[in-house]
Chain A
Amino acid sequence: MRPIAGGETGRRSVSFTDSASPREAVLRVDRLGYAYSPDRFAIRDLSFEVGRGEVFGLLGRNGAGKTTTVRVLTTLLPPTEGTALLFGKDLHQCGRAERARLGVVLQAESLDFVSVERNLTLYGFLWGVPREVAKSRAEEMLALFELNEVRHRKPWGLSGGERRRFQVARELMHEMELLFLDEPTVGLDALTRKRILEYLARRAREGLSIVFTTHILQEADLLCHRIGVLQAGRLRASGPPAEVKRRYRGPRTVEAGFERALTGAERSDLLAVLARAGEKFKVVTFEPGVLTFQAGNAEDLVAEISRWASPRDLDVDRISVREATLEEAFVNLVSDDAPPDTGPRAEFA
């Protein structure tokens, strides 16, 4: 059998961040919960850690509890159960000193009634950033977030994307060790999003820890060292994106292209061989020269195809396996027909 021509293993995952390594925890959350009333929980039983320089993504559907989690962890809401250690201090005891080490971009847009540029420098002033530093940092942020053209305009007159960029830019006016970003890229075009994600990844490499909520799963895949998937206020899974994808991906789609059309007998034989292999699979299409099927464990079936083709002197021109995306894993995790959340929470190191 010739080497598989044009063989590929689906989209390669390009990550902005380096691989996860043991880090000093800046945030340690243990069975944290927040209830609006004794029988109405917004979040419950959340446990995860965020290390120094680590990007942790919180994913979930609307109303899953992402924003409430951010509000509790930034001391805006008091937890009603469980504990969290922020920079090693119990969240209940955290005050000015701990908040001074945080950056927070909330989902709700906040602004002052001055120009974009003055908003940045005024925010710097509020945080005690020296005037000259604030001025130069404002220039840097205006350039980085492409706000130079609107620097003299009031923020409420900006487009949705510009306002979102402004929110992130303003928060980056001061120094911080842990940055909370609640859906920072909503409404941004792909290029701007990429630029912001690259900047955040750079800051993470420099030691900034980031807790990041998003609906855009591709972003989480690119930026986050680890993710947590929230559903109805509970953490359904957490771990590196690759692990979550591996654990919760659906069947992968495999396409095997042969050098010639297979005869009817060959097709039946091949299907029988695959069936005997013991792996569950589902034929999507079987055109004369191309078999497309879905399987959870695609590797074994691909090997079976090779073994079947080899003695028949039949070349397999092409094998492509489309890798599961985080979106597929996410959908599997949070879809309505997902298994009920009664068992132990899945967590990957």
Chain B
Amino acid sequence: MTFPPVVRLVIRNFEANLDPITLLVMFGQPAFLIVILGTMFSGLISSVGSSGSYIAFLVPGMIASQMITGAVLCGRVFWLDRRWAMVEQIFSGPFLRAEYLAALLITALLFSLVGVGIMVLVALPLIGVPGLSLPELAVILGTIALGSLFFGGLLIAIGGRIRSANLYFTIQSVLQYFLIFISTVYYPVSAKTPLVLRAIVYANPLTYAANTVRDAFTHSFGPGDLVAGAVLTGLAVVAFVLAVASFNRLELGPVQ
């Protein structure tokens, strides 16, 4: 049985460029944070808004942040393919560039979902079964999908324009930590949050994703979630267009 080209590329992406240690760190770190940060801060913070305990607040945020994990792993696959000339090798084979791009974005999505699964498994003993309805589950998965498309597309667009591994991985690390820390993944935005910081937090798409996932967990969808969905969809489309443009202008050949 021969799989379609995109499926073959996705399977290859999962196997070819990712070593177990990297995966352990990428998925282990947020799981570790749920356990340590959640447990420690739950003792200090009595309740956080409608979530209740801090750990119940943190878990949806960490679930939403898995879209960054998926995107980072997808960006890593793409960059290593460039670094080790596999992009050229694949492009000279029976694949379309669009298929390679699609495979990368699907890889980002699948990694995000794997991350979501791990976070849920780690959180279950701490917060219990969240009791999500089917629409709430669909909204969470849709948000993760849109976020993966946005962040994956963004990292592919950046990775396609940079010819230095050092620069790419520096940008990726800065972006990753900046996006996660200046969002509502770890803490809520309140009236006491400085205005500038509040503006930056709300300029971060991860904030919308974290808020939507959190609202699903607390069964409290509101108009803000519709706005969040619209913003994420718009940004995902923009990132996809940027990724396609970057691919069309992709300079093949040696990178460092």
Contact = CB atoms under 8 A, between A and B. Distances in A.
B200 interface: no
Interface stretch (A109-117, A139-147, A186-194): A109-117
Interface in A60-78: 71, 74-77
A102 interface: yes
Interface in B69-112: 80, 84-86, 88-96
Contact of B252 (A71, A95, A125, A130): A71
A99 B15 CA distance: 24
Given A109-B85, A111-B86, A125-B11, A75 B92 contact: yes
A127 B89 contact: no
B86 A110 contact: yes
A334 interface: no
Interface in A113-136: 113-114, 118, 122, 125-128, 130
Contacts of A114: 15-16
Contacts of A106: 85, 88-89, 92
A128 B94 contact: yes
Contacts of B90: 126
A108 B91 CA distance: 14
Contacts of A102: 92-93
A234 to B, nearest CB: 22
A100 interface: yes
A96 interface: yes
A99 B254 contact: no
B93 A109 contact: no
A104 interface: yes
A111 B91 CA distance: 14
A253 B95 CA distance: 54
A65 B205 CA distance: 46
B99 to A, nearest CB: 9
Interface size class of A (residues with CB under 8 A): 20 to 34
B55 to A, nearest CB: 36
A110 B93 contact: no
Given A113-B18, A128-B2, A108 B253 contact: yes
Nearest to A106: B88
Contact of B93 (A112, A122, A127, A130): A127
Interface string B1-25: 0110100110110011111000000
A114 B13 CA distance: 11
A211 to B, nearest CB: 13
B92 A95 contact: no
B13 to A, nearest CB: 10
Nearest to B8: A126
A126 B84 contact: no
A104 B17 contact: no
Highest count of chain B CB atoms <10 Å: which of A95, A97, A108, A109: A108
B148 to A, nearest CB: 22
A74 B19 contact: no
Contact of A99 (B9, B86, B94): B94
B18 A95 contact: no
B12 A113 contact: no
B96 A104 contact: no
Contacts of B94: 96-97, 99-100, 127-128
Contact of B12 (A74, A108, A112): A112
A294 to B, nearest CB: 44
A125 to B, nearest CB: 6
Nearest to B18: A113
Given A95-B96, A104-B89, A114-B16, A109 B84 contact: yes
Contacts of B2: 128, 130
Contacts of A130: 2
A77 B92 CA distance: 10
Given A108-B85, A108-B253, A111-B84, A122 B12 contact: yes
Contacts of B80: 113
A122 B93 CA distance: 14
Interface in A24-70: none
Highest count of chain A CB atoms <10 Å: which of B15, B93, B252, B253: B93
A110 B88 contact: yes
11 contacts: A75-B91, A99-B95, A102-B92, A104-B93, A110-B88, A112-B84, A113-B84, A114-B15, A122-B15, A127-B93, A128-B8
Given A75-B91, A113-B18, A128-B94, 19 more contacts: A75-B92, A77-B252, A96-B95, A97-B94, A99-B92, A99-B95, A106-B85, A106-B88, A108-B85, A110-B86, A110-B89, A111-B84, A112-B15, A112-B17, A114-B15, A122-B15, A126-B12, A127-B94, A128-B8
